[in-house]
Amino acid sequence: MIESGDPRGVRGGVVGQNGGMAAESSFDIVNKIDRQEVDNALNMAAKEVRNRFDFKGTDASIRWSGEAIELEASGEERVKAILDVFQTMLVRRKIDLKSLQAGDPRLSGKLWKITATLENGISADNARKVAKLIRDSGPKGIRTQIQGDELRVFSKKRDDLQAVQKLVLDADHEFAVQFTNYR
């Protein structure tokens, strides 16, 4: 079964017992934020802040400021309440709160402000921690590869990949994880 020009018998792969390719499945561990869903949550929070009686006369607002989200109000407790409203809306839109990094309230002129950012991607250090967890506690025969801000996991057995997904979800990370590109 040698094709012309390819002395190994197949094109660049491993030959299995039945002459076919040995299949390897994989998936990616990522931290991707759906910007549209965050925008929807922010708009819902802004609407609630405008309409709620306890925010009347407090100069309360929430808005995008570049890639960050600015929350401001006339009192420290009011700005913390706006953050709580925004977090509630994020949960309703199925966005993990581990992705939200909110600063401490600070006084700026007459207004109290909080700046919040959304963490997108997995840092190289965090990817190494997850890879070590998989290597130490996961099934044998699993390979991992860091690719930019995501981690790819390979195995010949799909059941092992599902066990790795459960292992990663059960571990308590300080960042959000999702699974994509399951092949």
Q: How far is CA 15 from the centre of its chain?
A: 37
Q: Report the distance separating Cα 71 and Cα 30, nearest Å.
A: 28
Q: What percent of the chain has pLDDT over 70?
A: 88
Cα angle value 98/32/66 (rounded, 5°) = 85
Report CA-CA distances (Å) from 117 to 67, 100, 114.
7, 6, 10
Q: pTM for this one?
A: 0.78
Task: Provide the strand spans (E) within the chain.
Answer: 25-30, 61-65, 68-73, 100-102, 106-108, 111-118, 143-147, 150-155, 178-180
- Does 7 score more than 50 pLDDT? no
Kind of pairing, strands 68-73 and 143-147? unpaired
Residue entry with tokens 């018998």 = 9
Q: pLDDT band for position 183 (50/70/90)?
A: confident
pLDDT confidence tier of residue 138, bands split at 50, 70 and 90:
confident
State the Rg of the chain over Cα.
24
Q: What is the mean pLDDT of residues 50-76?
A: 93
Sheet containing 25-30: order of strands: 143-147, 150-155, 25-30, 178-180
The pLDDT of 60-83, averaged and rounded, is: 95
Least confident of 12-16, 94-98, 126-130: 12-16
Torsion from C-alpha of 93, 98, 100, 103, nearest 10 degrees:
150
pLDDT score at 74: 93
